[in-house]
Amino acid sequence: MDKHAAIYVAGHRGLAGSAIWRALEARGYTNLIGRTSRELDLRDNNAVEAFFSSVSIDYLFLAAAKVGGIVANNDYCGDFIRDNLLIQTNVIDAARRHGVKKLLFLGSTCIYPKLAPQPLHEDSLLRGDLEPTNEAYAIAKIAGIKMCQAYNRQYGTKFISAMPTNLYGPGDNFDLETSHVLPALLRKIHEAKQDGAAQVEIWGTGNPRREFLHSDDLADACLFLMNHYDGDDIVNIGVGEDIAIRELAEQIGKVVGFEGQLAFNTSRPDGTPRKLVDTSRINSLGWRASKPLDEGIREVYAGYRQAVLA
């Protein structure tokens, strides 16, 4: 990408999109385009068409999506599949019709079957049943992947798809009903410490294993792929190692300084038993994650405390 190219980051205020925006600015890209959801509702096809008709876009990072944790995905599954299908369909099609040179579509590792072999390789897509609690979101993301691939074949576009593992980082969502596991645990354990609680309840058994990717690493990978990858195959983005939820909670407890007990509520769902991605494809291209988990947690907690005290 030329440093002066017009680059649109869809979802530039979200966890992934804001990290991509920061990375672009840090690397000297000067013509960045962003619209908040109030300024541009990507679910509205007429609004999307008017936007693309009013600006010239060379490159597009599609990081806009309706996202959430297990509870939100399960309870609002209709909203998740509808909103995400509308967002990605409107943006991908407009990008094709208005001559965007290259688009990067951000998916998720929840696209893979619940019981797919570990670590999750890109070839596992559509080879088994999905995790029921996030099936609607996953199906929407799979549709986005297939739309990019179909457009590449029919129209000769350069639309690539990247599948990041569980994200965390600056600007994360700490709402206990809609957040992902790491920020939810961080908030619950912080509040337990502040309240002087003897224990903190954690959903599930604590046994599932998850991989956590800092949003700055994700952004670095997205820029790397935009500059160095033109393939039709999807590409996983991850760190290549995972941790049990119980171990994660213990690690967060140490960072927060919580000395109480962790009480695991086994009546609550665990979700997928394990989600570790195979990063051999992106590693072979020359990219690896660099942010250690303990360092990332400390940074996120510092930011959370600053926001809470503000």
Q: Which residues are annotated as a binding site for NADP(+)?
A: 11-17, 106-109, 141, 164-167, 180
DSSP-derived pairing of the beta strands 243-244 and 209-210: antiparallel
Q: Measured on CA atoms in the order 246, 215, 170, 42, is the torsion positive or negative?
A: negative
Annotated binding site for substrate: 188, 203, 210, 270
* Residues recorded for the chain: 310
Would you list which residues are annotated within the binding site? 11-17, 106-109, 141, 164-167, 180, 188, 203, 210, 270
Q: How far, in Å, CA of 92 to CA of 95, rounded?
A: 5
In degrees, rounded to 5, the angle at the alpha carbon of residue 274 between the alpha carbons of residues 163 and 267 is 120
Any catalytic annotation for residue 137?
yes
Of 137, 151, 229, 304, catalytic: 137
Task: Sort strands 159-164 and 102-106 into parallel, antiparallel or unpaired.
Answer: parallel
Structure tokens at 185: 């645990």
What burial class does residue 266 get, using C-beta atoms within 10 Å of its C-beta: 0-12 exposed, 13-18 middle, 19+ buried?
exposed
Q: Would you list the DSSP string of 164-225? A: E-EEE-TT----TTT--HHHHHHHHHHHHHHHT-SEEEEES-S--EE-EEEHHHHHHHHHHH
In angstroms, how far is the first alpha carbon of the chain from the final one? 38
Q: So which residues are the catalytic ones?
A: 137
